[in-house]
Each structure stands twice: as structure tokens, then as C-alpha cells.
């Protein structure tokens, strides 16, 4: 196969179809670009900006204190707590969520989440909510459950060999 150098002027004027696709994608990109700040300001769906530094040991101690205070039962060895509205705590660790939180519909809670070991992902199913759980940080999520029911908490950040078993529970009562 002989090797030729490319033509000096290899570009051709663009055709009609290419021109249409260029403008379709250009307009789409501009719309998306403008949507970002508008969505940020008006949609009220931003992740919270509140977090504190906390050592895993300290957070684990806070959670066990909290659990002792408000425990109302247990399920498969995991304590169930029924705290009043306000500050509530959830600990992620390989490979469980502690404790099982029993909340009341329509009340507002400040959920503090942190990890005792590695990075985990806090995901509430079936609602599509995902947050990072990072050791060393107490991340505060303001939640007001709109519906009663049982929700599954999944870890959606690969955290080790038992990651797939890492599911917890959130109960919302009427
Ligand atoms: Cu995990």
C-alpha cells in the first residue's frame, strides 16, 4: 500500500445535514448551560452544604449514645430507634447501617451521617437520593419525610467484599 501525504486542503464546506446537526446540538448545549444556574437557584434540590469534622471514634460514640437513649426495639441485632424531631444520627460501617431509624411523617429531622471506616454511599430506595458518606466528616441532611412506609438504605459506593450486603432500613410512621 503506497503512502500518500494528505491533500493540502482536506476540509470541504459542510453540507446541509451537518449544518442542521451542528445547530441542533449548539442550541441544546446553550439551553443546558443556562438551565444549570436557574435549576440551582429555583429548583430547591441542592445537596446541603453543612458538614463538620468529626473523628470516626467520636461519631461512633455519639451514635451509640443516641441509640441507647431512643432505642425502642431491634431487628436482626440492629437497634431500632424512635427519636424526636431534631438531630438524628446514622453510622455507616463495613457492612451495615446503624441504627434503624423510625421517624414520623411530616416532621423535620437533621440527619447526621458519617462513616466509621471507609467511604460509603447513602442511598434511600425507592426514592432516588444519593449522598456520599465520608469518614472524618459529619454530613447533615435536612429531611422531612413526606410519606409513611419502609425505605431501604443501600450503600452505593463499593466499600469492600461485603458491600452487596450493606443495606439498612428507614421506617416512617404516620
Ligand atoms: Cu458499600
Could you check whether the bond before residue 10 is cis, i.e. omega within 30 degrees of 0? no
- Cα–Cα distance between 28 and 165 in angstroms, integer? 41
Task: Please state the domain extents for the chain.
Answer: 51-173
- Is residue 46 scored above 80 in pLDDT? no
> How much distance in Å is there from the Cα of 114 to the middle of ligand 1?
13
The residue among 96, 140, 82, 95 whose CA lies nearest residue 114 is 140
Residue pLDDT, tens place only, 103-144: 999 999 999 999 999 999 999 988 878 899 999 999 999 889
The residue among 141, 105, 150 whose CA lies nearest residue 122 is 141
pTM: 0.77
> How much distance in Å is there from the Cα of 79 to the middle of ligand 1?
20
Cell numbers found for residue 55: 473523628
> How much distance in Å is there from the Cα of 98 to the middle of ligand 1?
14
At 99 the three-state DSSP class reads coil
What is the CATH number assigned to the segment(s) 51-173?
Answer: 2.60.40.420
> How much distance in Å is there from the Cα of 73 to the middle of ligand 1?
25
- Cα–Cα distance between 31 and 96 in angstroms, integer? 42
Amino acid at each position: 500500500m503506497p503512502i500518500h501525504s494528505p491533500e493540502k486542503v482536506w476540509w470541504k464546506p459542510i453540507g446541509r445535514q451537518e449544518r442542521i446537526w451542528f445547530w441542533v446540538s449548539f442550541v441544546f448545549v446553550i439551553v443546558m448551560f443556562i438551565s444549570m444556574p436557574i435549576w440551582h437557584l429555583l429548583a430547591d434540590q441542592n445537596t446541603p452544604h453543612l458538614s463538620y469534622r468529626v473523628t470516626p471514634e467520636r461519631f461512633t460514640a455519639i451514635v451509640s449514645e443516641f441509640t441507647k437513649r431512643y432505642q425502642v426495639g431491634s431487628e436482626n441485632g440492629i437497634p431500632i430507634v424512635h427519636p424526636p424531631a431534631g438531630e438524628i444520627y446514622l453510622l455507616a460501617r463495613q457492612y451495615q447501617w446503624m441504627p434503624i431509624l423510625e421517624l414520623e411523617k411530616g416532621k423535620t429531622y437533621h440527619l447526621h451521617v458519617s462513616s466509621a471506616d471507609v467511604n460509603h454511599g447513602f442511598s434511600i430506595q425507592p426514592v432516588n437520593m444519593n449522598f456520599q458518606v465520608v469518614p472524618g466528616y459529619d454530613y447533615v441532611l435536612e429531611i422531612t419525610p413526606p410519606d409513611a412506609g419502609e425505605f431501604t438504605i443501600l450503600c452505593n459506593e463499593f466499600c469492600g467484599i461485603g458491600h452487596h450486603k450493606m443495606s439498612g432500613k428507614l421506617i416512617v410512621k404516620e
